[in-house]
Structure 1
Amino acid sequence: MNDRPNPGWFGRNWKWFVPTGCLTVLLLGALLLFGLIGLGIKGVSGLMSGSEPVRHAMQLAQANPEVKAAFGEPLETGLGFQGSLTTDNDSGAADLSLPVTGPKGSGRIYIKGSREADRWTYRLIEVAIDGSERRIDLLGPDAKPAAPLETAPEDGKDEGEAPAEESAAA
């Protein structure tokens, strides 16, 4: 009669199992790769959003009445930072474009500045509104081209405040 043994499960089903198994492995690999890329983008955006130029620009934007009127509140940064931010000890440079959104609309904040002696100086901080040619200058119309970041001095005095000896002599 028939001397050949009956084939096992794999012997009967290999024609559909091999392609399906390979496709499954490829899909799982692609999902893992996209997940890692997504985490990398999220991580870089998180690092950028914590930087001094981005925090300063967001503070200016959130306090500006024109920006509030155009975007509403709350104003938030999105993913998709573009540009470069470099720091080396107490110097650096920023040339950034970051997306911002609010309940009324979206746009981008453009930041150009440099850092010397651990102090940021900005040449440009402005908001571009999507779907409009309008730009809002966050440094103000009377701001100098290189307006320094206003921070509280470490000794607790205002920068414009003269010491008692100097003001008495003047």
Structure 2
Amino acid sequence: MNDRPNPGWFGRNWKWFVPTGCLSVLLFAALALAGLIGLGIKGVSGLMSGSEPVRHAMDLAKANPDVRAAFGEPLETGMGFQGSLTTNNDSGEADLSLPIKGPKGSGRIYVKGTREADRWSYRLIEVAIDGSERRIDLLGADAAPDAAPEAASPERSAPDESTPEEESDPEAPAEESAAA
């Protein structure tokens, strides 16, 4: 009667298998791409978090009592570093914005500095607290010990230089008055 043989599995199910198979391949490709992008971001963040400007800024933030009071402990860096960090041999530039978080809140650390002769010097390291206009200057405490000896040396040299002049000035009028 019916001379046509029964179609196989693909012949019976191709109408749903082809779109589902194509969508599965596209979904797998999208997940693989997202994974690669995620690993790239994690890798860049890992490289940045290991850099000297980031380590220095985090050490200053962890040691600052105002930062500890605002964020709590432990203080950690988050994902999403922004800015640039370039080095060439023993020179470089850093202009970074680092996310930080603690149990009490989150914010960002802003770092600007230059590297010359393999030494970093910073123009700005400050913490901005999310949801507040308040900023905490981290260089104020760090720069004070460096500035104190420099400020003390001119003060020391100034009295040493002025002392002979003061001694000669009082002696000169005394000699003048003695001669008169």
Deviation at 1:142, TM superposition (A): 8.8
Partner SS, residue 140 of structure 1: helix
Per the TM alignment, residue 69 of structure 1 is displaced from its structure 2 partner at its CA by 0.4
Q: Structure 1: which 5+ runs fail to align?
A: 148-170
Runs of 4 or more, structure 1, over 3 Å off, are 141-144
Q: Deviations over 1:107-131 (max 9, x none)?
A: 0000000000000010000000000
Rounded to whole Å, the distance in 2 between the matches of 1:90 and 1:33 is 36
**3-state DSSP of counterpart to 1:66:** helix
Equivalent in the alignment of 1:126: 126
2:100 maps to which residue?
A: 100
Amino acid at match of 1:130: D
Indicate yes or no: 2:29 matched with 1:29. yes
State the identity %.
Answer: 86
Shift in Å at residue 143 of structure 1?
A: 3.6
Task: Give 2:14's aligned residue.
Answer: 14
Q: 1:94 to 1:142 in 2, by over 3 A?
A: closer
CA gap 1:141/1:50 in 2 versus in 1, 3 angstroms? closer
Structure 2 counterpart of 1:66: 66
Aligned to 1:53: 53
For 2:57 and 2:5, the matched residues in 1 are separated by 77
CA deviations over 1:35-54 (Å, ceiling 9, x no partner): 11111111100000000000
- Using the alignment, how far apart are the partners of 1:115 and 1:23 within structure 2? 51
3-state SS of 2:12 partner: helix
Separation of aligned partners in 2, 1:143 and 1:64: 13
**Distance in 2 between the 1:32 and 1:141 partners?**
47
Could you say which structure has the higher helix fraction? 2
- Match of residue 117 from structure 2: 117
Number of aligned residues: 146
Return the TM-score normalized by structure 2.
0.78
Structure-2 residue corresponding to 1:5: 5
Whole-Å separation in 1 of the counterparts to 2:55 and 2:141: 21
TM-score when normalising by structure 1 = 0.82
**Cα distance change on mapping 1:141 and 1:63 into 2, 3 Å:** closer
Q: Secondary structure at 2:28's aligned position in 1?
A: helix
1:3, CA displacement in angstroms?
A: 2.1
Deviation, structure 1 residue 141: 6.9
Distance 1:110 1:11, change over 3 A: same
Counterpart-to-counterpart distance in 2, 1:142 and 1:99: 21
Aligned AA (1:53)? P
